[in-house]
């Protein structure tokens, strides 16, 4: 489920579509390698000398990426907004070393996200950080809003932690819209393992608001440029 809001009208033969695919594949490949690096970094028991040498090597690599850079308000050319592909999302972004990354698909009137958490996402030893669980749920409930045609921003997120979320275990995150009231969108979400999907480990209630159009244009100038 790449884009809950807009299907691309480009055909696979379209050079622009081919170029976009190529760019996204390269970004995902770098993201994948960086996630392996992050995992290796938080697991390593290497000597201080080795660790220092690696820090120097990574600094040299970072130097190669510093050229033309986007500022926080810019939407990457490889993204779709609002709703859709976010290559650098900290939850779903295949290009983000922070992201598990979660893969999202439609599911029973809502959406389901599948991912594994690693040691980099650890809270209590061996289990996921509660803030990471909240982040997964917040994101997926946002996707549920977008998939229902009502993209919005979180104004309230309530999480209940019923059981610890195991690391390196396939997870199933679910979210759906329960009601709407004018610009407010009410959602529910949950996290379970793939193995025991009916044993809810974390559950959440989220309220989202579709911003007033003037507020949305002020917050996201790209909406003006797109017209
Ligand atoms: C067309 C643009 C759509 C923009 C969507 C943006 C992102 C979605 C993009 C992609 C979706 C796809 C995937 C999901 C991705 C990510 C999910 C993560 C989501 C987040 O990570 S998001 C970051 C954290 N989130 C914030 O950073 C919001 C801070 N917030 C604000 O920026 C404003 O709040 C805003 C702009 C939301 C609304 O502003 P506004 O001016 O349009 O609306 P207003 O203030 O009038 O509120 C309307 C009614 O909500 C009530 N209300 C407001 N706040 C409340 C609260 N806290 N508690 C209880 N009720 C509240 C009011 O009381 C009124 O209720 P009533 O009408 O009954 O009086």
Query: Which CATH number belongs to the domain containing residue 146 in this structure?
Result: 3.10.129.10
Give a yes or no: residue 52 inside a domain.
no
Å from CA of 184 to ligand 1 middle: 8
| pTM of this structure | 0.91
Dump pLDDT digits (tens) for 144-193: 999 999 999 999 999 999 999 999 999 999 999 999 999 999 999 999 99
CB within 6 Å of ligand 1 — which residues? 82-83, 138-139, 142-143, 146, 151-156, 182-184, 209, 211-212, 215-216
Q: Which of 209, 210, 212, 224 to mutate to test the pocket of ligand 1 (most atoms within 8 A of CB)?
A: 209
| C-alpha to C-alpha distance for 117 and 149, rounded to whole angstroms | 29
Length of the chain (residues): 227
- Cis peptide preceding 7, ω within 30 of 0: no
Give a yes or no: residue 179 inside a domain.
yes
Give a yes or no: residue 207 inside a domain.
yes
Q: Which residue's structure tokens are 């850079």?
A: 69
Give a yes or no: residue 122 inside a domain.
yes
| C-alpha to C-alpha distance for 26 and 184, rounded to whole angstroms | 38
How many domains, the chain? 1
pLDDT band at 226 (very low <50, low <70, confident <90, very high): low
- Give the closest residue (by CA) to ligand 1 atom 61: 155
Å from CA of 153 to ligand 1 middle: 4
Give a yes or no: residue 63 inside a domain.
no
- The interface predicted TM-score (ipTM) is 0.92
Its domain, for residue 149, covers 103-219
Ligand 1 atom nearest the C-alpha of 212 is 42
pLDDT band at 139 (very low <50, low <70, confident <90, very high): very high
Å from CA of 110 to ligand 1 middle: 20
Give a yes or no: residue 19 inside a domain.
no
């Amino acid at each position: 489920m790449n884009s809950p809001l807009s299907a691309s009208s480009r055909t696979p033969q379209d050079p622009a579509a081919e170029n976009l695919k190529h760019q996204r594949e390269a970004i995902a490949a770098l993201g994948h390698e960086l996630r392996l690096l992050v995992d290796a970094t938080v697991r390593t028991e290497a000597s201080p000398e080795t660790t220092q040498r690696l820090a120097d090597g990574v600094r040299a690599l970072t130097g190669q990426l510093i050229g033309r850079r986007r500022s926080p308000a810019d939407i990457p050319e490889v993204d779709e907004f609002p709703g859709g592909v976010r290559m650098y999302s900290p939850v779903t972004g295949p290009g983000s070393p922070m992201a598990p990354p979660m893969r999202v698909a439609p599911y029973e009137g809502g959406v389901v996200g599948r991912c594994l958490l690693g040691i980099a996402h650890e809270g209590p030893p061996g289990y996921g950080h509660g803030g990471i669980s909240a982040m997964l749920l917040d994101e997926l409930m946002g996707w549920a809003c977008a998939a229902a045609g009502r993209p919005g921003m979180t104004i309230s997120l309530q999480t209940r932690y019923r059981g610890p979320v195991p690391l390196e275990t396939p997870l199933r995150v679910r979210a759906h819209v329960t009601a709407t009231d004018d610009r407010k969108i009410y959602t529910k979400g949950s996290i379970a393992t793939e193995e025991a999907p009916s044993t809810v480990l974390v559950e959440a209630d989220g309220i989202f608001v579709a911003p007033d159009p003037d507020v949305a244009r002020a917050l996201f100038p790209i909406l003006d440029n797109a017209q």
